[in-house]
Amino acid sequence: MATHKKTPRPTTPEQAKLPAETHQTASESQVVLTTNQGLPISDNQNSLKVGERGPVLLEDFILREKITHFDHERIPERIVHARGSGAHGYFQPYESQADVTKAKFLQDPKKRTEVFARFSTVAGGAGSVDLPRDVRGFAVKFYTEEGNFDLVGNNIPVFFIQDAMKFPDVIHAVKMEPDRGFPQAASAHATFWDFISLTPESMHMVMWAMSDRAIPRSLRMIEGFGVHTFRLINEQGESRFVKFHWRPTIGASAVVWDEAVKISGADPDFHRRDLWEAIDRGDFPEWELGLQIFDEKTAASLDFDVLDPTKLIPEEIVPLRMVGKMVLNRNPDNHFAETEQVAFCPSHIVPGIGFSDDPLLQGRLFSYLDTQLSRLGGPNFHQIPINAPRCPMRNFQRDGLRQMDVPKGRVAYEPNSLEPQAPRECPMHGFRTPPEPVDGTKLRKRAETFADHYSQARMFFRSMTPPEQNHIASALAFELAHVEIKPIRRKMLGHLKNIDTALHDTVAAALGMEGQTEEVSPAVTPRDLPASQSLSLLAKDPATLKGRKVGILLSDGFDSTLLASIRSTLKKERAAIALIAPKIGGATGSDGVHLEVDFALSGGPSFFFDTVILLLSESGCAELLEEAAAVNWVRDAFGHLKVIGHVPAALPLLDASAVVADEGIVPITGRKDLTTYIAAARGGRRWEREPKLRSIG
Ligand code: HDE
């Protein structure tokens, strides 16, 4: 028989409140803990029992309130874009855009409009990692003086499908497979590629999703796109088409795949942490808002349909007009209340902006409002502080679940004569849909003008630099290798052949599937379009250390004077610095001063940083030669093509890590060499190293 071991009985009431050191009671000046009804709580450590060791009483309403609230802490997560990170900030236009739009937030260069931005992955759940291969959501809520404008975009300018009817299918295909419940946050599985192989319209987006865009270095370094064609309307009622773009002012960058894999394990919150820390240290992320504005005539002259969301307009044809800047300068106060509860809807629009007939956009105008009803528990989610407009909101909608307001008065209808002060419609300033003649037959049919599925996919691939093309081929080989059903792989090779034969050949070889391609005949023969420079990340790499993170590995006896120079130089570059030492306790420099560090070697791998410096003493280096974590640290930095600055004493560690000297391995002996290191580090990764280190596949 099991015996019940008795714990010694506490002798005084004070002893019953163990552990004493974690128990904080309110002094006269402190805020008193209360229940949700405001009742002061005397004991937050113990439930109400019959005797000190007796059963807990149902009567304990304080315990029940606390546990009940806890039980209901989770709300349904977003079906897509569940994993997100947000920040507050403002948008400020450079000059009035009155010639094209009457939108109030685009008029006065002196006026800042408050914004809240949320960045997200698409496929994974709320607790999934930050760096899977995936599209990133880029949603911005502008709290304008004429209502909230939500620009709910992605970091890729096109989409997988052309019609909202297909959205549940593409999402079901990419999400974890319903029978087995895996894989989480990954497109490398059979159902996704099965759907894609049967959906030629996805091919352009697939090229983007397999490119470096899908593994960003930082949320601060992604571009954003409204994707659909929208409309701008000015005070004269003139309407033009527009596509929205966000450009990060510090440039867009990606990690390499091996880094993404390792970061996902070492720091699943890599992007969220990076965004938080940057804002926290005052290094505010910024994006310029760019508009591609065009009229019906230009739209008609293009060789694709501007209503087709699988197509982009090359900037060579319609350049961007940069109209203002968004600065994110404040972290959320509460992740749940703000980042989780924020409700974006493409239908949240303001006068001066309008929709197009893009069938995907039209479906979205329905979907987002609908999803908030179940996600946020009813029709009053606009009252949640993060969603509430900052301008007055008055109408006759009443009641409903989660009603937090107390509307006054007798009148809840319009027109009325009882309350002359009650709100009325405003023909002068109210939102108006620009009149557009529509005439046609009611039918379910895809427009012929949407039928060219390969030309822009080819254009995108051919606009990439060689390293970017290799990454696309590698990503395709990696993903398709996870598809155990061979006919799907064969069909995908058929699509790739329609996009680019060299790409097809490389992927077929990487899969070991030469000669097994299933031909896919395109609805429209793909054309060779001119390459577009703006599509490549590397072609417009800004060569800067601004906003980048430099990891400096120290050992006891490091050169203190040199560290001071490195620090002040990097500060001028506006780079962030992280110090790493074998132990978190820190390292003592040549001047005898002990320095605290940010990471222990094992917890601060080199793939957290954009470039690294080895600042070791001879004895420190000798000790690290015995340490696998140190050898991996350096080997990874080399393998991830990073610029490595090092003092001569670190050479044995470079050798032990099989580092081969090239222009990215920069000796630093003193202040003077720093210039060489900085120049190299500004240039980013050493792409010429890559083919020597890994083959495609
Ligand atoms: Fe979304 N999408 N989407 N989407 N989407 C959602 O709305 C949907 C599409 C995008 O940070 C959901 O509030 C349909 C394109 C972002 O909260 C849902 C279709 C683009 C976010 C929904 C699309 C996006 C969402 C899930 C095809 C780029 C996250 C939770 C017709 C332009 C916003 C929610 C945030 C979220 C539906 C296609 C971007 C279910 C039906 C194209 C950035 O309503």
Which residues make up each annotated binding site for heme?
A: 78, 118, 167, 364, 368, 375
The catalytic residues are 81, 154
Domain boundaries, the chain: 84-383, 453-538, 543-693
Q: Which residue has the tokens 């680019």?
A: 500
How confident is the model at residue 21, as a pLDDT? 54
Residues 6+ apart with CB under 8 A from 534: 314, 315, 316, 540
Residues with Cβ within 8 Å of 154's Cβ and at least 6 positions away in sequence, in order, are 135, 136, 137, 138, 224, 225, 227
113 SS3 class: strand
| % pLDDT > 90, the chain | 93
pLDDT of res. 670 = 81
Strands of the sheet containing 665-667, edge to edge, are 599-600, 576-581, 549-554, 611-615, 644-646, 665-667
Contact 696, 474 (CB under 8 A): yes
Tokens for 135, please give them: 């599209």
Rg (C-alpha) for the chain, rounded Å, is: 29
Ligand 1 pocket check for 87: Cβ under 6 Å:
no
Residue entry with tokens 């400096």: 552
Residue ranges at the known binding site: 78, 118, 167, 364, 368, 375
Instruction: Report the separation in Å between the CA atom of 386 and the middle of ligand 1, taken as the mean of its atom positions.
Output: 18
Answer whether residue 6 shows pLDDT above 80: no
Residue 366 near residue 412 (C-beta atoms within 8 A): no
| Residue 90: per-residue pLDDT | 99
DSSP three-state, residue 615: strand
Q: Using an 8 Å Cβ cutoff, are 159 and 310 in contact?
A: yes
Q: Mean pLDDT across the stretch 651-665?
A: 97
State whether the beta carbon of 184 lies less than 6 angstroms from ligand 1. Answer: no
Per-residue pLDDT at 211 exceeds 70: yes
Model confidence, pTM: 0.95
Distance 368 CA to ligand 1 centre (A): 7
Give residue 234 CA to ligand 1 midpoint distance, Å: 28
Cβ neighbours around 122 below 10 Å, total: 22
In 3D space, the residue among 643, 639, 641, 644 whose CA is nearest the CA of residue 687 turns out to be 641
Ligand 1 pocket, 164 CB below 6 A? yes
143's enclosing H/E stretch is: strand 136-144
How far is ligand 1, taken at its centre, from the CA of residue 405, in Å? 28
**Domain covering 453-538, topology:** Hemocyanin, N-terminal domain (1.20.1370)
pLDDT number for residue 22:
60
Q: What is residue 449's three-state secondary structure?
A: helix
Residue pLDDT, tens place only, 291-303: 999 999 999 999 9
In short, whether 367's Cβ falls inside 6 Å of ligand 1 is yes
> In this structure, how many other beta carbons lie within 10 angstroms of the beta carbon of residue 607?
26
Closest residue by Cα to residue 461 from 500, 432, 494, 506: 500
Q: How far apart are CA 213 and CA 139, in angstroms?
A: 17
Pairing of β 84-93 and β 321-330: antiparallel
Run of H or E including 228 = none
The answer to whether 391 touches 146, Cβ cutoff 8 Å, is yes
- Mean pLDDT value of segment 517-526: 98
SS3 letters for 295-336? CHHHHHHCCCCCCCCCCCCCCCCCCCEEEEEEEEEECCCCHH
The pLDDT of residue 449: 97
| CATH of region 543-693, choose from 3.40.1380.20, 3.30.470.20, 2.130.10.10, 3.40.50.880 | 3.40.50.880
**Domains 84-383 and 543-693 in one fold:** no
pLDDT in tens, 222-264: 999 999 999 999 999 999 999 999 999 999 999 999 999 999 9
Residue 25 pLDDT grade (very low, low, confident, very high; cuts 50, 70, 90):
confident
Residue 64's pLDDT band (cuts 50, 70, 90): very high
Q: What is the DSSP letter of 41?
A: P
Burial class, 33, CB count within 10 angstroms (exposed 0-12 / middle 13-18 / buried 19+)? middle
> How far is it, in rounded angstroms, from Cα 157 to Cα 224?
8
The rounded distance, in Å, linking the Cα atoms of 238 and 243 is 17
- By three-state DSSP, how is residue 464 classified? coil
Q: For the chain, what's the residue count?
A: 697
| Token reading at 102 | 């009457």
- 84-383 to CATH, choices 3.90.1210.10, 2.40.50.140, 3.40.50.1970, 2.40.180.10: 2.40.180.10
**Structure confidence by residue, pLDDT tens digits, 65-107:** 999 999 999 999 999 999 999 999 999 999 999 999 999 999 9
**Model pLDDT for residues 659-691, shown as the tens digit of each residue:** 999 999 999 988 778 999 999 999 999 999 999
- Which residue's CA lies nearest to atom 22 of ligand 1? 368
Residues whose CB falls within 8 Å of the CB of residue 238, separated by 6 or more in sequence, listed in order? none
Q: Is 139 in the pocket of ligand 1 (CB under 6 A)?
A: yes
Ligand 1 closest atom vs CA 154: 28
Nearest to 35 by CA among 17, 60, 71: 60
